[in-house]
Amino acid sequence: MTPPLLSVRGLGVTFATPFGPVRGLDGADFDVAPGEILALVGESGSGKSVASLAVMGVLGPGGDGARVQVEGSAIWDAKVDLLRAPHRPGLAMVFQEPMTALNPVLRIGRTIGEAVARHDGVRGEAVTARVTTLLAEMGLPDPARVARAYPHELSGGMRQRALIALAMACRPRLLIADEPTTALDSTVQARVLGLLAGLRRSHGLAMLLVTHDFGVVAQIADRVAVMYGGRVVETGPVAALLAHPAHPYTRALLAAVPRLDLARGEALPAEEMPGTPPDPRHPPPGCRFHPRCAVARPGLCDSGPPPAPQALGPGRAAACHLLAA
C-alpha cells in the first residue's frame, strides 16, 4: 500500500457561539492516496466544508489528539495551534461559495494572475498567457472578457469556474474541492470533470471532492466517505459502496437521489428521508442517525455511540450498531 498523501485522524472542530459550543466536526477520519479521488458526501451540515477548511488550515485545529498529515509529515496536530506555513505548497482549495472566496474589487484576471506569479515565478505577458489558458481550460467561451470582469459581472457558473482556475494556478498535488460543479450545467460539468480526471492521469493530481451529486461520484471518484453528524459513517470503493450501501444512512441517502426517466419523459419520485439532520448543539444520544433510521433497534441504537467502523471487505468499513451486533 502506498502511504496516503493526506491522512486525517480524529479531526474535530468546535465553534464558540453565543448559544454555546457547536461541534461542527466530531472526530473525522479519512485518507487520500496519491492520485486518488476521494468523494466526501453526506447530509447538509454534516461537516464536509468544515473538514475541508480544517485540512486547509483555514480553521485552527481542534479535538484531542487530532492529526492531519500530508505525505507523512504533520501539517498540524492537536498541540500546534498555528499553521506551519501560510502557503502550503501542493494544496489548493475550491471554496463552496465563490463570492466569499473572490475579492469583489479585483478583476478576475488580477486575482488569478497573482497566484500564477507567485507559483510560477513569472511576470508580464507570461502571466496573462497562463491566466487565459487556465480560464479557457474551464470551457469559458471568452476568457479575455472573464479576465477583465469583476466577480459580480459573471454568472454563477462562470464564477465557479474562475475559482477552479484560481486553484489550478497553484499547480496543486492535492485539490480540495467543495461542491466545485454545483452551478455548472451538465455539459460544462462534464468538461470540468474531464479536465480534472486528465490532470489526475497526467500529473497524479489527488482530490478531496465534496459533492452532493452521486452522478459525479460515480463518474470520477475512486472511493467515497459518507459523513453524518460530524463523523464518517461509511467508507468504501465507489462501485461497491453504491451497489451495496452498508450503513442505513447511506441507503436512505441513495434512495433520495432524483432520477430522470427519459423514455417516459418524467422524473422518478425520490424518497424523502424523514426528520431533520441533528442540531450539532444537541446531538441525539447513541447513534446520531437513529431517530431517522428505518431499522434502528430501541435499547441498542439509542444507548451508546456506535462502535468504531467495522471492516466489511476490501477497503470497506461502516460504523453502525447493527453491523457489529
Partner 1 sequence: MTPLLQAVGLTRRFGAGLLARRGGVTAVADVNLTLMEGEAVGIVGESGSGKSTLGRLLLGLIPPSAGEVRYRGRPLGAALAADRRGVRRALQIVQQDPTAALDPRWDVARLVREGLDIHGLGTPSERAARVAGLLADVGLDAGFAARRAHELSGGQKQRVAIARALALAPEFLFADEPVSALDVSVRAQVLGLLNRLRAARGIGLLMVSHDIAAVAACCERILVMQRGRIVEDAPRATLLRTPLHPHTRALLAAVPPPPVALLATG
Ligand X SMILES: Nc1ncnc2c1ncn2[C@@H]1O[C@H](COP(=O)(O)OP(=O)(O)OP(=O)(O)O)[C@@H](O)[C@H]1O
Residues of the shown chain interacting with ligand X in the complex, contacts defined by CB under 6 A: 15, 17, 22, 24, 44-50, 96, 152-158, 183, 280
Residue 313 in contact with partner 1, rule: CB under 8 A? no
* Site for partner 1 contains 185 (CB under 8 A): yes
In the complex, the smallest distance separating the C-beta of residue 120 from partner 1, rounded to whole angstroms, is 27
Which residues 6+ apart lie within 8 Å of 309 measured at CB?
232, 233, 234, 235, 317, 318, 319
Site string for Mg ion, 148-187 (x = CB under 5 A): -------xx-------------------------------
Q: First-to-last CA distance in the chain?
A: 30
Q: What does the alpha-carbon distance between residue 162 and residue 156 come to, in Å, rounded to a whole number?
A: 10
Which of 217, 246, 287, 319 forms a contact with partner 1 (CB under 8 A)? 217
- Written as one string, the DSSP assignment of 99-153 is HHHS-TTS-HHHHHHHHHHHHH---THHHHHHHHHHHHHTT-S-HHHHHHS-GGG
Closest approach, Cβ 20 to partner 1, in A, equals: 10
**H/E element, 234:** strand 231-237
The answer to whether residues 54 and 11 touch, using CB atoms and an 8 Å cutoff, is yes
Interactions with partner 1, residue window 147-166 (CB under 8 A): 148, 153-158, 161
In the complex with partner 1, which residue's Cβ is closer, 121 or 269?
A: 269
Q: Does 105 bind partner 1 (CB under 8 A)?
A: no
Q: Pairing relation of β-strands 174-178 and 206-210?
A: parallel
For the packed helices 125-137 and 156-168, what is the interaxial angle rounded to 10 degrees?
Answer: 120
> Choosing among Mg ion, ligand X, partner 1, none, which partner's interface includes residue 229 (Cβ < 5 to 8 Å by kind)?
none
CB of 99 to partner 1, least distance (A): 5
Among 22, 83, 136, 322, binds partner 1 (CB under 8 A): 22
Is there binding between residue 99 and Mg ion (CB under 5 A)?
no
User: Closest CB to partner 1 among 76 and 228?
Assistant: 228
- Count Cβ atoms below 10 Å from residue 211 Cβ, excluding itself: 21
Q: State the nearest-atom distance from the C-beta of 295 to partner 1, in Å.
A: 16
Q: How many Å apart are CA 77 and CA 179, to the nearest integer?
A: 26
Per CB under 5 A, contacts with Mg ion among 42-61 are: 49
Enumerate binding residues for Mg ion (CB under 5 A).
49, 96, 155-156
